[in-house]
Amino acid sequence: MATYKEIQGTAVQSLTSSTGTEEGQIWYSTPAGNLKLQANIATASWATAPIMNESRAATASFGTQTSGVAATGLITPVTGSYRSTTEKYNGTSWANSTTVPTPRAYVNGGGTETAGIVYGGDSGPGAGISSTELYSGSAYTAGGALPNLYYNAVGTGPSTATITVGGAGYPTAGPQRTVSTYNGTSWSANPATYPATLTRGRAVGDSSNAFVFGGSPNQTTSNTWNGTSFAGGPTMNVGRENMVGFGAVTNAVAAGGTNNPSGGLTTSETYNGTAWSTGTAMPVGKNVSGTGGGAGTASAGLAFSGYYIVPAITLEYTGAGVGTKTITTS
């Protein structure tokens, strides 16, 4: 009988990983103390979910795929007016929640359904908003004021460890490079600056460990943040702004958005902590979720609403999965 080494040309390796890298791989898992077989590697997919109660764009979004939140934002089709409402998604349907104290758009959000944060944005030309509002799942309370009146900034993090980068300044200042962090009570202007001016990008992580990517105009750049300074990251495959972004600093998804003059995008790409890879395309068209909302992880994400999307569509994202089996003698 031929041995595994004679068939495959190599011996079974001892590895510390719990999953393999290719279908059919066999290895000895030292933590588990047994042989493993990589049965399959499934591709990522998007699925259409129940629509929102109200269409909106440039909204604050946070939470998970089965516990997502959309707060305030532009009324779409765009009228120049703002939503004052909050909606929550439970994995099955959207339900109306508490009114947002300060209606706004081009605004950031973060955290969870029961410990969320909404901050920055604008309420009309020349009317930047510095206020922060904390969401408990049923009510909003006032938080600290941002150091600057910026909208279209890039923010990420829970309500106790938030970072916001860049944004366009009021009343006449253009795109910025500034950094501010929030500790659950107050904002602090950080002495660090982003490597370039930044608006309309996305970020994942928190105030001590973040990953920032994309932005206007059609940026392909990404940068990592260690709590003190930024370092250059890998180039994205497609320059995009106003996209949906969700996940973690070593496992993120960027999807949709715009790339002028190409217009609305349906493409997506994934980041594994080292490089960007082309992902699964979204199933709907022009500018889906461009300035819309995103939440969740790279395994179970949520994208919703956006310009030109009426009624407000919801998409659930399932990341690429792996199937690993333990090899036994029975």
pLDDT surpassing 60 at residue 6: no
Residue 171 has φ and ψ, to the nearest 5°, of: -90, -25
Of residues 125, 116, 209, 225, the one with CA closest to residue 166 = 225
Q: What average pLDDT is seen over the chain?
A: 87
Going by their DSSP bridges, the two strands 13-15 and 26-29 should be labelled as: parallel
* pLDDT for residue 71: 96
pLDDT in tens, 176-195: 999 999 999 999 999 999 99
* pLDDT for residue 40: 60
d(CA 76, CA 312): 9
Please identify which residue in the block is written with the tokens 């109306």.
Answer: 96
* pLDDT for residue 77: 79
pLDDT surpassing 80 at residue 20: no
What count of other Cβ atoms lies within 10 Å of the Cβ of residue 91?
A: 14
Distances (CA, A) of 163 to 31, 134, 177, 246: 36, 15, 13, 15
Please state the rounded mean pLDDT for residues 195-220. Answer: 96
* pLDDT for residue 119: 96
Most confident option among 96-110, 164-178, 274-288: 96-110
* pLDDT for residue 312: 82
In this structure, are residues 158 and 207 in contact, taking their beta carbons and an 8 Å threshold?
no
Residue 5 has φ and ψ, to the nearest 5°, of: -65, -40
Please state the rounded mean pLDDT for residues 247-268. Answer: 87
Please state the rounded mean pLDDT for residues 92-111. Answer: 94
What count of other Cβ atoms lies within 10 Å of the Cβ of residue 229?
A: 14
Residue 8 has φ and ψ, to the nearest 5°, of: -90, -20
pLDDT confidence tier of residue 286, bands split at 50, 70 and 90? very low
Omega of the bond prior to 158 within 30 degrees of 0, cis? no
* pLDDT for residue 190: 96
* pLDDT for residue 167: 92
User: Which comes out higher in pLDDT, residue 2 or 94?
Assistant: 94
Out of 17-31, 64-78, 251-265, pick the least confident. Answer: 17-31
The angle subtended at Cα 65 by Cα 64 and Cα 67, nearest 5°, is 60
User: Which comes out higher in pLDDT, residue 30 or 97?
Assistant: 97
Please state the rounded mean pLDDT for residues 40-45. Answer: 78
What count of other Cβ atoms lies within 10 Å of the Cβ of residue 42?
A: 11
Going by their DSSP bridges, the two strands 176-182 and 187-198 should be labelled as: antiparallel
d(CA 282, CA 269): 11
CATH number of 45-318: 2.120.10.80
pTM for the full predicted model: 0.85
In this structure, are residues 192 and 149 in contact, taking their beta carbons and an 8 Å threshold?
no
Domain extents for the chain? 4-41, 45-318
pLDDT in tens, 307-328: 766 678 899 999 987 555 555 6
